[in-house]
Amino acid sequence: MTTAARRRAARAAALALLTAVAVGGARSAHAQGGEGRLSFSMGIDTSNAYFFRGIKQERSGLIVQPYADVSADLLGAGNESLSSLTLTVGQWNSLHSGPSGAGTSGRTTAMWYESDFFTGLTFGSDTLTAGVTYTSYLSPNDSFGTVQEVSLALSLDDSDRLLIPLQPHVGLAVELSGQADGGQSEGTYFELGIEPGLDLIAERASIGFPATLGLSLHHYYEDGGDHNDVFGYFDLGAVATLRLGMPEAAGTWTISAGVHLLALGDYLRVLNDGDKLQAVGAVGVNIAY
């Protein structure tokens, strides 16, 4: 899974810096079922590799990534300045059968490589969406130390302006404690991305082509010592989604499949056993109420 996919899968309703991989998860948001003020989403993805913002986590064995989140519409109807104000709380996991699934804990948590808890607030207008999210990244099998961060994101919905919308977004993540790359100091990450896409079947099937550039503004990618490796990675992908024809009471079911090609910077190439290019494929299912 790539970061883009992870954003689609686990954080669609909150901040999408994300993204897992994580293929991922999650550059268009999952549809939310129901007409109430609360919505619930859960799903599971599986992939051949897991890269988080270009940083290799695992690329062998079975990788399974279940998640769930609940969102509350804080605004309701009648507000003229904002179209949405949403609070989201969720949890995301990554289970591995490969080397990173061994860890140093007991057998009960050996495969449980990562467990993330996040809460986010998003503000939406007609075309702009802004969000702030707090995330705590933990490793139940003690493969890495806990990382806490606050991230900001801004995205533009240009679907009414362009024949093929680009859906651009920018993101900023600041580490409060711990380091995603295992470096010596907390870092600051910056992301630019687009996801042009096409509807294959109206309101049923679509394909998107996410492209993401990940950069280190300050020691997010530390190439040993005190050196800051600015260029982290470039991610180019193709992701197809299909909405299944389920009864309304069963919620909205969506399946997805995609592939991403990562081009890694000098430091991330070293972490990836010297490979500058990395292909990541994933499939997943999401259920929303």
Q: What is the pLDDT of residues 10-62, one digit of tens each?
A: 444 333 333 333 333 333 333 344 456 899 999 999 999 999 999 999 999 99
What pLDDT does 20 receive?
Answer: 35
Question: Is the alpha carbon torsion for 70, 14, 116, 3 positive or negative?
Answer: positive
Phi, psi of 109 (to 5 degrees): -120, 15
- Burial status of residue 41 (CB atoms within 10 A of its CB: 0-12, 13-18, 19 or more): buried
Fold type of domain 3-288: Porin (2.40.160)
- Give the mean model confidence (pLDDT) for residues 107-119: 91
Average pLDDT over residues 211-218: 98
Over the chain, what is the mean pLDDT? Answer: 87
- pLDDT score at 28: 35
- Mean of the pLDDT values across residues 96-125? 87
pLDDT the model gives residue 34: 45
Interval 121-144 mean pLDDT? 95
Looking at the predicted structure, is the pLDDT value of residue 256 above 70? yes
Strands 169-177 and 188-194: antiparallel
**Per-residue pLDDT band at 104 (split at 50, 70, 90):** low
Higher-confidence residue: 70 or 6?
A: 70
pLDDT for the residue numbered 12: 42
DSSP codes, the chain: --HHHHHHHH-SSS----------B--PPPPPPSSSSEEEEEEEEEES-EEETTEEEE-SS-EEEEEEEEEEESS-S--SS-SEEEEEEEEEEEEESSGGGT-SS-GGGTTEEEEEEEEEEEEE-SSEEEEEEEEEEE-TT-SS--EEEEEEEEEE--TTT-SS----EEEEEEEEES-TT--SS--EEEEEEE--EEEEETTTEEEE--EEEEEEEESSSB-STT-B--EEEEEEEEEEEEE----GGG-EEEEEEEEEEEEE-HHHHHHTTT-SEEEEEEEEEEEE-
Is the model's pLDDT at 284 over the cut of 50?
A: yes
DSSP codes of every residue in 152-209 = EEEEE--TTT-SS----EEEEEEEEES-TT--SS--EEEEEEE--EEEEETTTEEEE-
pLDDT greater at residue 183 or residue 246: 246
pLDDT of 4 strictly over 90: no
Percent of the chain with pLDDT over 90: 72
The answer to whether the predicted template modeling score (pTM) of the entire model surpasses 0.75 is yes
**pLDDT for position 77:** 65
Q: What is the mean pLDDT of residues 151-173?
A: 95
Supply the pLDDT for residue 239.
98
Of residues 95, 88, 109, 98, the one with CA closest to residue 40: 88
Mean pLDDT, range 221-235, rounded to an integer: 88
State what percent of residues in the chain have pLDDT above 70.
83
Tell which wins on pLDDT, 159 or 244. Answer: 244
Task: Identify the weakest region by mean pLDDT among 5-9, 65-69, 140-144.
Answer: 5-9
For the chain, what are the domain ranges? 3-288
